[in-house]
Amino acid sequence: MSYFITRNFSVGVGGRYWAMWTNLRSNSLCSSSGCVSEQTTLAKYSMERWGTFFQASYKFD
Q: Give the phi and the psi of residue 58 in degrees, each rounded to 5.
A: -130, 130
| Terminal Cα distance for the chain, rounded | 23
Residue 45 has pLDDT above 70, yes or no: yes
**Which residue range forms the structural domain that includes residue 53?**
2-58
Relative to beta strand 2-4, strand 9-21 is antiparallel
- The reported pLDDT for the residue numbered 38 is 61
- The reported pLDDT for the residue numbered 56 is 96
- The reported pLDDT for the residue numbered 32 is 62
Number of domains the chain is built from = 1
Task: Answer for the pair 45, 23: CB distance below 8 angstroms, yes or no.
Answer: no
Q: What is the pLDDT of residues 4-31, one digit of tens each?
A: 999 999 999 999 998 887 766 666 666 6
Task: Answer for the pair 1, 12: CB distance below 8 angstroms, yes or no.
Answer: yes
